[in-house]
Chain A
Amino acid sequence: MADTEDIIEGSDDEGEPMKASEVLQKLEEAWITERMSPTLEKHHSEYVDCMLDQINQMSENLKRCKKHDFRVAIHKMEIDRIRYMISSYLRLRLEKIEKFTHYLLEKERTISDENLAILSENELEYAKGYASSIESHFQTMVLQHVPENLRNFDPGKMGVKPNLDSFVFLKVKESTPAVLIEDDSGEGRDEEVDLDEGSQHLIRYRPISHLLNSEAVTLI
């Protein structure tokens, strides 16, 4: 499709320009991974911004086309699909942010490398606003009326945390030898697994979470 084939300035680390169709594919992977992951993944707002920009441009281009050109309908459908994917992806992220607010804010504080940030700037704002609104609601309704020694609110104790030991299906994009799978029953039967390119595995989330960040695997 002519509109999506336009080469655009990529946001890759190496500074290589990416094609819009590649960005779309990356975004699709991020979307599926986000759906299957028990916790929140690294944010990809660069892809989101890029695709939103693309569909805006496509809509602009379409306005110049003749009204009864049959290609218009196909392009519009394409735009609708992309927009649905982006919305669904961002909605999923918001749901997780709301569920694990305190856990994620706490985790975000410990991350110093900007490239590994889980929350985008806007999402961080959102999470903070959400957390403080809930807390102040607790304060006005209950906490300020209870005896003094119970007035503190400890989100670490009561907040919901994601279950990082749940199992996920994954597909390997880059061969990664000797991934250490620790024995969680504490009997020391650790194992090493070779992840070959193209293979699929059912595996506990925790040992492979770092591979998701380096994009060596995707969840399916």
Chain B
Amino acid sequence: MLADKVLELIRELERSKDGQMSTFNEDAIRLVLEEMNTLFEQNQQDVNATVAGDVRFFSGVHLRHAALERNKRCLLAYLYNRLERIREMRWEFGSILPGYIRATMCEPEIQWFNKYNKTLATYMRSLGEGNGLDLTQDIKPPKNLYIEVRCLQDYGEFEIEEGDTVVLQKNTTHYLLMAHCQHLIRQGILEHVE
């Protein structure tokens, strides 16, 4: 059906709304692009006929043009929404994405991710008159200086303040400065015990 394929892409976005990434659907995109080219060629023919004086095809041209516009809009929406999700992952996982997420992205998307990384890093470095501030830290308002954390995996020695170290072993709990162990919590090495 006319302009039906592209709806599939939008549905796909809708289905994976809970922050999950579906695999980049290259085939569907190619099919939509093919359909657009076919529509365009048909339109060219009819336009030529209209110019030659035959007005019967005029509404057909309009209809196809509307379908073309719609396809384009939907394709761009698909791309944009995926980029937005990739952006969220930058904030969630940091500058290196886990492999299973990378596998769902296409090459240009990975390139975009790297570019986004760079833009963000440049911005964060420029804060505070060049001293820099990591905005991906301090996501939650601080309640306590120290928090209790449990180790989820063996990490080894971890340096806290002025040469003191703790050994982070699996299933041990520690009482640490929140500012120091935030990034380990987000990497999934530590777990915050409430």
B131-157 to A contact mask, C-beta < 8 Å, 1/0: 101110110111001000000000000
The segment from A48-56, A199-207, A208-216 that touches chain B is A48-56
How many chain A residues touch B (Cβ–Cβ < 8 Å)?
39
The segment from A106-114, A142-150, A179-187 that touches chain B is A142-150
Contact partners of A83 in chain B: CB under 8 A: 133, 138
Contact call B138/A134, Cβ cutoff below 8 A: no
Give the distance in Å from the alpha carbon of A86 to the alpha carbon of B109 in the complex.
31
Q: How far is the CB of B85 from chain A (nearest CB, A)?
A: 13
Q: How far is the CB of B105 from chain A (nearest CB, A)?
A: 12
Contact call A122/B133, Cβ cutoff below 8 A: no
Give the distance in Å from the alpha carbon of A141 to the alpha carbon of B106 in the complex.
10
Give the distance in Å from the alpha carbon of A53 to the alpha carbon of B129 in the complex.
8
The segment from A1-9, A125-133, A167-175, A190-198 that touches chain B is A125-133
Contact call B68/A56, Cβ cutoff below 8 A: no
The segment from A17-25, A35-43, A72-80 that touches chain B is A72-80
Q: How far is the CB of A67 from chain B (nearest CB, A)?
A: 9
Contact partners of A91 in chain B: CB under 8 A: 135
Contact partner of B127 (CB less than 8 A), chosen from A84, A122, A137, A149, is A122
Contact partner of B75 (CB less than 8 A), chosen from A125, A140, A142, A149, is A142
Question: Does residue A87 face the partner (Cβ distance < 8 Å to B)?
Answer: yes
Question: Does residue A178 face the partner (Cβ distance < 8 Å to B)?
Answer: no
Contact call A125/B142, Cβ cutoff below 8 A: no
- Determine the main DSSP class of A at the interface with B: helix
Q: List 29 A-B contacts (CB under 8 A).
A: A48-B128, A52-B129, A52-B131, A53-B128, A56-B131, A77-B145, A80-B179, A81-B141, A84-B138, A84-B140, A88-B138, A94-B135, A122-B126, A122-B127, A126-B122, A129-B115, A129-B118, A138-B76, A140-B108, A141-B29, A141-B75, A142-B29, A142-B76, A142-B79, A146-B36, A146-B72, A147-B68, A150-B72, A153-B76
Question: Does residue B176 face the partner (Cβ distance < 8 Å to A)?
Answer: no
How many chain B residues touch A (Cβ–Cβ < 8 Å)?
41
Number of interchain pairs (Cβ within 8 Å): 107
Question: Does residue A123 face the partner (Cβ distance < 8 Å to B)?
Answer: yes
Additional 14 contacts, C-beta under 8 A, given A52-B128, A87-B138, A129-B115: A48-B128, A80-B142, A84-B142, A91-B135, A122-B126, A126-B123, A133-B112, A133-B116, A133-B119, A134-B112, A137-B79, A142-B29, A146-B33, A150-B36
Give the distance in Å from the alpha carbon of A193 to the alpha carbon of B176 in the complex.
54
* Chain B, 1-51, CB within 8 A of any chain A CB: 29, 33, 36-37, 40
Question: Does residue A65 face the partner (Cβ distance < 8 Å to B)?
Answer: no
Contact call B145/A76, Cβ cutoff below 8 A: yes
Give the distance in Å from the alpha carbon of A80 to the alpha carbon of B80 in the complex.
35
Contact partners of B87 in chain A: CB under 8 A: 98
Contact partners of B80 in chain A: CB under 8 A: 134, 138
Contact partners of B116 in chain A: CB under 8 A: 130, 133
Contact call A158/B73, Cβ cutoff below 8 A: yes
Question: Does residue B69 face the partner (Cβ distance < 8 Å to A)?
Answer: yes
Contact partners of B134 in chain A: CB under 8 A: 87
Question: Does residue B178 face the partner (Cβ distance < 8 Å to A)?
Answer: yes
Give the distance in Å from the alpha carbon of A88 to the alpha carbon of B80 in the complex.
25
Contact partners of B115 in chain A: CB under 8 A: 129, 133
Question: Does residue A90 face the partner (Cβ distance < 8 Å to B)?
Answer: yes
Contact partners of B138 in chain A: CB under 8 A: 80, 83-84, 87-88
Closest to B68 in A: A150
Question: Does residue B83 face the partner (Cβ distance < 8 Å to A)?
Answer: yes
Q: How far is the CB of B102 from chain A (nearest CB, A)?
A: 16
